[in-house]
Structure 1
Amino acid sequence: MSRTEQEVRQLYADTHRMPAGPAKFAALEQVARHADALGLVEFAFDVRMHSTSVFHNNGAAQKALVAFSWCRAAYDREPQRFGGGHERSLLWNMKWMIYNVHQFPEIPLERAHDLLEDMERRYRLGGHSLHAVLQHRGLIAESVGELEAARAHYERMARTPRDHLSDCSGCVPSSQTRTLVALGRDEEAIAVGEPARTSWCTDQPQWINSELLLPYLRTGQPHKALEAHRTAYRLLREKPYHLAELGLHLMFCVHTGNPERGFDLVERHLHWLDRPRTPLAEADFAAASVAVLRTLEERGEGDRPVRSRTAWAQGQDQGRGQGHGPVTVASLAAGLRERVLRLADRFDARNGNGYQGERLRERMAAGPLGEPLPLDVFHTATHRATDPRARRIRKLVEDVAALTAAGDGPAAAVARLEATEELLEADRYTEAAEAAEEAAREVGRLGLAGHAPRAAWLLFRAHRADGDPARAAAALRGLLEGTDGGFPGLPPRPRLEEELAREETTPAARHRWFLSASRRYAAEGDTDQRLRTLVMAAHAADGPEALAALTAEVTTALAEPGVDAARAAVARLRIAHVLYRTGRYEQAAAYAEAVPEAYADADPEDRVRHARALALLAKARYRLGERAAAEEAARTSLSLGSEDDWEVAVALVLLLRSRGAAEEAAKVMTAHDLDEEDIDEDYLDD
């Protein structure tokens, strides 16, 4: 189907609102094809260059290489068509391609070296620093085992000035730290990397903290390693792009004697292997997983079942998995080991040496470094035991340890829940979030269905307090969507639905849960709460049909006997604001007019509400062209001391000028400190 240029550009704009994933990838590729068909070369370049970034950052490296290759060829064919911005995009994204290409064993190593040569040629031609070129030469040399060359490139890079094509202040030290770790220079790696732990970009600080884990452990700084682990994992756990870095965290668990924590991470993230970002990242994570699983096997837990939603582990990946039947620690370890060795052989054949095979085998065979380091938050949450609550937390922690040692898992899980509550009450939100996750995992692992609602509620509260609304919503959503009933010991169900609605990230989800809560309140005969949640649902209504349905429900609720007058006034005013913002001025005016005039003589708060209603009425009547009614409402609102007096004064000035009362309009401007640039209808939009 042919498209016009305007339609294609709109399709491209639409892709920016899509979440990353196969649907967005396909949409971007479709836009590029349409642009090609229309001969929009510069636009097609921009689309593909943007696509390169999207693909690279979301696990589609092969697609990124294809899109970038098109852009490079188009630029070289007709460089006169493109400006400096296009050249900079090409040079910047070239770094990502070089970073990716050596991680695919099916791509000849010469391809990476050719790209490096091309990169250096272009950078020199443009008069740019070779800082980024040396960085990527070093990364590739380190990856293929040419450690002396990696050292030389690192040292040259350290002497070369950065420029606008260099990576950011967090990513450069991360790359350098990786090279120094490979060279066995741990102290220097820490000195270079540690200052970057406060940096922020899409890869930071999770990348640098991950790279520092092993140097910290090998230099006798386990508690710094623990802090780096917690900081990094909270940021990378939702980003499959960081598959290789997650492997470093698995090795951290192995080295610190925490195979249980490692096993939990394997179960959580094994499905990332269904679509690994690159084969090298796949090998890194899989090898680290083998190290975790092997440790459990050595403890006699080879028959332990593995809970994972990955198709690979369930033997559904076209013959690469373990076959049908339950997946155990031993069977998964064997399958992953085989997978790693196949990848290692492919890399070694491509690289012409045994470096990757040796590195990956060492990783799979790794064990503890030094004394065990407790990672469970219940072992580390007691360092501030100077007040009664902290002492209660310490007592609960001791109970968890004692009950776990005695083999009483259910009682230990309940103690974990109680400790989580205490951490929340003590405002130790990060610790509470970790404790809640650990408690919820134990409740789920032990099948303690009776405690699952409490665990989910605590998980919700902890993540919300810790500033993680997405995880908070997921915890409570899972609880509410599992049943239609209530939960003993928790707030009433409509209250839970309200809490979830506030944390949802999309208007449609907020609308859904507020509306559900309002109907549950209606079933309980609580009209006031029904009205309140209906108004919240109206604020989140996504589209005219949903808003129309909501206003109809509000009208019905307002007509019921026994409705509190103040609650009704608030509801009418808030609905009026929603209607006004969405351009429904007639309906907004009707709701605003219904706010009782008796409020004008009531207490100050009610007087303000009346003034606000009149302010909204004045703006609505103005938009409807009903100038006399608008002017009357504006004057009355200003006389009552409206909180919205600035906007109302603007409306009144516009109204006065429209009927030629310029002198009075000037007086209103002086009284309300308005400048000429303030007198604009656009200021009446809200």
Structure 2
Amino acid sequence: MPTAPHPQNTDELYQALQENDRRPYGRTRTVTAEELVDAAEQFAEPVPLVHALLELQEAYTYGSEPRKSPVVFARLLTLFDEQPDVFDERLRHMLFWRFKWVANALRALPEIPLASLRQWQQEMRDRYEKAGLGLQPYYGQAYQLAVHVGEDTALAHELWASRTRTPLSDCEACETCERALYHLTAGDDERALRAWEPVLAGKESCQEEPARSVSYALLPLLRTGRTDRARELHLAGYRGCRRNPSMAQEVGRHLEFCALTGNEARGLELLAENRGLFDEVDSPLDLLGFLTGVEVLLQRVELIGHGELPAPGYAGRTWTVTGLRAEVRSRADDLAARFDTRNGTTAHTDRRRARLDRAPLLESLELTLRPRSLDDVAPAAPATEPTARTAAAVPDSLPELILRARTLDEQGHPDAHACWARLRTLVAARDYTHPEDPAVGPLVRLRADLLAEEANLAGEKDEFADAAALHEEAAALYDDAGAPDHAALARACALLATAELPAENTEDAEDADGAAAKAAALTAAHTSMVRLHEETPGLTPYLEARLLRLRATALALRLQTSRSDEHIAPVFAEVELLHAFATRHDLAGQISGALLLRVSAHAISGDLPTAVTEIDALLDRLKAQGPAWHLPRTLGLRGRLQLGLQDTQAAHADLTEGLRRAADWPADTVDTTRLHGDLAEVCMHLGRPEEALRHLTRSAELELRRGNRTDAFCAYGNAAQLSLDLGRVEDCIALLDSLLADPESAAGELDDRLLAQLRLTRARALHAGEDLKAATAEFVALAAESAGWDDDPGSHAMIAAETAVLLGESGEFGRAREAADQARAAHARAPRYEQLSNCLRELARLQAQQQGPDGLADALALLTDAGRIAEEARTAGYESGGRSLDTALAYEYGRVNAYAGEYEDALAALDKALALLGEPGPEDDRAGEWAECVRLAGAVEGLYLERPAPALTRLDAAVSRLTALGHTEEAESLASLAARLRDEE
């Protein structure tokens, strides 16, 4: 299948080769390269064919197709022998460099005899000697062959490592890796890590480095106790090799790392992401390394009892861990045996066995912000949240169990949930026989109880429509069972659940119409409850108290919705009715509930001090008289009140104590998700973002365990953004990769805007992590998708503006201007003055910086557009968050002209910017910006215009002013520039 238009001339061919060079390695790039070779053969000139063949060999080499690489190189070598003048110095260098590529390819193919490998090395030596080239690269290949075969490498290493590097030697990063692996094989982890440090620190890199070195260094780092460094490098290194067929061995080592650190679930997640490698890797050597890493992981999962878990494997069938492990073991054993047969040693089988025999190095190492266990990825029922206390023992006797559930339910005791859950299982069984016990009552009564419990659980999840329907169904069954009092309570619950529905059906719950509709529904629900109460005689005290509490709750929710003063008094009146009734009948749980409703009413009405006073009294009562299970929720409310009063320390103490108390009860007793979320907010106020991050991820995890995927992904998204703000770029990317790889995300079952926000955060993180190519690709995709958001043009304007800047950073200014035009069109519908102005100014700066005088005209045109945006903003009365758009524009005119060598214009623009900024004051946060503007003006004037005297006057005055105002740090750069100017004088 053609992937690009057929080039009609050599110019088009070269352009197509450049475009293909920008593609990621893989089938698309390889097929295109093959087509371009066919096209080049039609031209009479040999040079284009050489370039096309070089591109094709590169595509085969890094696309993991070693069988084809030597064939292409043979054609290049023939061309060189026949027409050496065609090869200029650069092409000649590339040709001799790629002798090593062929050697690597031949080693990766077990069907190539060992004699042929040695013969190729001799060919390389002869060619190098004939061309007068140093032999260090040849000895490097001889050493690597010795390692591969499993021979004694001491002499080969000495012959290579002792020689001086040449222009054709492998890059510093690759040679560093080979030296480190020599020490690693000798068992010296420390020495290997010392050798690796320049690569691991990012000081040396190439196409495959540091990803290759990182994958090897992970286990030595663990063995030497550097767990944090291993975690950090795993996140960054894995991203450098994921889904890359030519780095399949590196992926395998990351899978092995997961298996040996208690991260089997993450290992399976990464295997799923790379399942294409099973079929895409055409290099037997790379495939052997990948499959061995896969087997280490699968072996570990099976060993700890999860062999029946589904596993991502070869296409065409469904795999379990056990089944895939058997398949992988068979294939990998065969590959190792083929290499050993070819080499006449047992080296590959021995190395495989050593990896498979490794014991775990750590019981547990938290690798990501989304730690998962194998239970989390099991298709069975979702794991429940572990707590310090499980529910009390459930009675074995069926009558006793039913009566126990009802007694606990009357008290509002959390252990009732476990009893109802057990009963639900028993009643659903085909062989269930209801006890003939008058104390238990008929089966229809028990079914009604179970429906009421199910309805309450739905209500707790805000599934109000389901809750209302279940309560109505329960009420009908209670009528059939001759329990009109319970039926009345169920109908009252249905009324309240139904009244909550308007907020769900209104597009904006905060909209005035939506709030009014909900308030009216709650008023009607309360009226119906009162009537229902009056029409139901003979209510037992605990049922009547519950009905009174529902009445009070309806009015409290109405007050919360309307925020109307006229709705305050009715709440307190209902609460007093409940409190008096509960006190008269000594119903501790309802007394507590009444007092909590009163606290909430004070808080909603804005009287936070009174709310705190009353909640303190309630806490004292709960600690003395109970019920103890009300303590966590009450402490959570007190924490939120303290936050409202801006006492964040007290809020933190209350919320933390609430979490501690919640651990004393079953998981569904307290909304610990809310506690963690509130703690995250408090920690941010306290300047403790790392702690906030832990609470955010914990909140998200709990939401996920309870099936609230949208809320969970929102919380995880907030955690990702916070980790990015903290500079934890790899943590951010790893978390988002995990979320976006989730089956429901991939299937499009989550809200598309939520997924787009996650992708946007990931793109920004990639940019922050200096992966410009991946960041730009994601931004371009998001810009294309958001163009269709007719209901949200402002977001499209923001995304398109950011996309334009990234394209500018890549030097693609034509595409950048197209993206900026998209942003401008969306801005016309939903103004984004600051974002669009920032985009245009930054594009102008990038073009002038990268192209100098040649880019000045285009850069100035962009600044002219930015000037129009500033004018629009002034007309609209828009005020920017920081410096004014006019000030920013004047400063950018200064920078753009300076980059283009128009220094007089640059200085005039900078003086205008300084005038617009005005001199800073003692508490002015503009001091840094002002100082930078003075510094640039001083550099233009003193260095480029060679007028040091006025420049020094400018700088000295600024230093004096900044120092007098206490801005000593800002003054340092100006003083440094002044000193330089004086030295040059």
Decide which of 755, 776, 788 is 1:505's aligned counterpart.
Answer: 776
Deviations 1:53-103 (A, max 9, x none): 343234333343333222122112222332332222122122122122211
1:62 correspondence with 2:62: no
> Which residue of structure 1 lines up, in the alignment, with residue 159 of structure 2?
156
CA distance in 2, matches of 1:300, 1:610: 62
2:80 and 2:116 map into 1 onto residues whose CA distance is 19
What is the rounded CA distance, in whole Å, between the counterparts of 1:247 and 1:573 in structure 2? 43
1:520 maps onto 2:792 in alignment = yes
1:177-215 residue CA offsets vs partner (Å, 9 max, x unmatched): 334444556565455445553342123333333334455
CA distance in 2: counterparts of 1:224 and 1:191, whole angstroms? 13
Q: Does 1:95 align with 2:100?
A: yes
Residue 452 of structure 1 pairs with residue 713 of structure 2: yes
Could you tell me which residue of structure 2 aligns to residue 15 of structure 1?
20
Matched, 1:375 2:365: yes
Report the AA paired with residue 225 of structure 2. Answer: H
**CA contact under 8 A between 2:108 and 2:284: conserved in structure 1?**
yes
Q: Which has the larger radius of gyration?
A: 2
Answer whether contact 2:40 2:49 (CA < 8 A) is retained.
Answer: yes
Q: How does 1:552-631 map to 2 (within 5 A)?
A: 554-555=827-828, 591=868, 595=872, 608=886
Please list every run of 5 or more consecutive structure 2 residues that lacks an aligned counterpart in the other structure: 1-5, 372-647, 766-774, 808-813, 845-856, 898-904, 916-939, 947-985
Q: How does 1:36-51 map to 2 (within 5 A)?
A: 36-51=41-56
- The Cα offsets for residues 504-558 of structure 1, whole Å up to 9 and x where unpaired, read as 6246445447657784378xxxxxx998889779989958887777656655668
Residues 644 and 344 (structure 1), Cα distance of their counterparts in 2 relative to 1, 3 Å cut: same
Q: Describe the shift of the 1:126–1:376 C-alpha distance in structure 2 as closer, same or farther (beyond 3 A).
A: same
CA distance 1:158–1:572, shift in 2 (3 Å): closer
Shift in alpha-carbon separation, 1:201–1:79, aligned structure 2, 3 A = same
> 1:466 — aligned with what?
728
- Cα distance in 2 for residues equivalent to 1:508 and 1:120: 47
Q: Report what 1:651 is aligned to.
A: none
Q: Which amino acid aligns with 2:728?
A: D
* 3-state secondary structure, aligned to 1:61: coil
Q: SS of 1:302's equivalent?
A: coil
Distance 1:255 1:671 in 2: 61
Could you say which residue in structure 2 is the equivalent of 1:118? Answer: 123
Counterpart position of 2:250: 245
User: In structure 1, what is the equivalent of residue 210 of structure 2?
Assistant: 205
When structure 1 is superposed on structure 2, of 478-487 and 189-198 the one drifting more is 478-487
Residue number in structure 2 paired with 1:345:
337
Q: Check if 1:72 corresponds to 2:334.
A: no
- Unmatched 5+ residue regions in structure 1? 317-323, 382-387, 488-492, 523-528, 559-566, 620-634, 646-669, 677-686
Check whether the contact 2:720–2:736 (CA below 8 A) recurs between aligned residues: no
Aligned partner (choices 283, 290, 297) of residue 278 of structure 1: 283
1:608, distance to aligned residue in structure 2 (A): 3.9
Q: Is the 8 A contact 1:59 1:278 kept in 2?
A: yes
The sequence identity of aligned pairs, in percent, is: 20
User: Structure 2: which amino acid aligns with 1:375?
Assistant: L
Preserved CA contact (<8 Å) 1:28 1:47? yes
Deviates more, 1:602-611 or 1:14-23: 602-611
**Equivalents in 2 of 1:407, 1:120: separation in Å?**
71
Q: Distance in 1 between matches of 2:180 and 2:762?
A: 42
Partner residue in 1 for 2:307: 302
Equivalent position of 1:649 in the other structure = none
Distance 1:154 1:438 in 2: 51
Encode CA deviations 1:572-594: one digit per residue, 9 max, x unaligned. Answer: 99889999959989x95995796
- Which AA in structure 2 matches 1:367? R
Match of 1:139 among 132, 139, 144: 144
Give yes or no for contact 2:25–2:62 (8 Å, CA) kept in 1. Answer: no
| Residue of structure 2 in register with 1:667 after alignment | none
Q: Secondary structure at the match of 1:210?
A: helix
Q: TM-score, normalised by structure 2?
A: 0.48
CA–CA distance in structure 2, aligned partners of residues 362 and 497 of structure 1: 40
2:320 paired with 1:328: yes
Separation (CA, whole Å) in 2 of partners of 1:95 and 1:437:
48
Shift of the 415–374 alpha-carbon distance from structure 1 to 2, 3 Å rule, reads: farther
* Pairwise CA distance, 1:245: 2.6
Q: Is the 8 A contact 1:511 1:537 kept in 2?
A: yes
- Cα distance in 2 for partners of 1:372, 1:543 equals 48
Separation of aligned partners in 1, 2:39 and 2:724: 44
The one-letter amino acid of 1:330's match is: T
**Alignment match, 1:32:** 37
Superposition pairs of residues 544-555 of structure 1, within 5 angstroms: 554-555=827-828
Alignment map for 1:524-539 (pairs within 5 Å):
none
Contact 1:132 1:165 in 2 (8 A): yes
Aligned-partner Cα distance in 2 for 1:590–1:154: 64
The amino acid across from 2:338 in the alignment is: R
State the shift of 1:347 in Å: 1.9
Q: Match for 1:376: what amino acid? A: E
Matched, 1:175 2:165: no
Q: Answer yes or no: is 1:224 the counterpart of 2:221.
A: no
Give the drift of 1:437. Answer: 9.1
TM-superposed deviation, 1:458: 2.0
Whether the 8 Å contact between 1:461 and 1:472 is mirrored in structure 2 is: no
Cα distance change of structure 1 residues 569 and 462 upon mapping to structure 2, 3 Å threshold:
closer
TM-score by length of 1: 0.66
Q: What is the rounded CA distance, in whole Å, between the counterparts of 1:610 and 1:178 in structure 2? A: 52
Residues 222 and 11 of structure 1, relative CA distance in 2, 3 Å threshold: same
8 Å contact kept, 1:129–1:160: no
Instruction: Provide the aligned length of Structure 1 versus Structure 2.
Output: 577
Q: Match for 1:4: what amino acid?
A: N
Q: CA RMSD in A?
A: 5.6
| Aligned counterparts of 2:341 and 2:192: Cα–Cα separation in 1 | 30
Distance 2:756 2:291 in 1: 44
For 1:569 and 1:226, the matched residues in 2 are separated by: 40
Alpha carbons of 1:374 and 1:84: their partners in 2 closer, same or farther (altered >3 Å)? same
Shift of the 412–2 alpha-carbon distance from structure 1 to 2, 3 Å rule, reads: same
Amino acid paired to 1:201 = S
Aligned partner of residue 37 in structure 1, secondary structure: coil
| Cross-structure match for 2:169 | 166
Distance 1:111 1:461 in 2: 56
CA contact (8 A) 1:186 1:215 kept: yes
Change beyond 3 A, Cα 1:297–1:460: same
Distance 2:165 2:171 in 1: 10
Query: Secondary structure of 1:266's match?
Result: helix
Per-residue deviation, 1:244: 1.4
Give the Cα–Cα distance (whole angstroms) in 2 for the partners of residues 138 and 282 of structure 1: 22
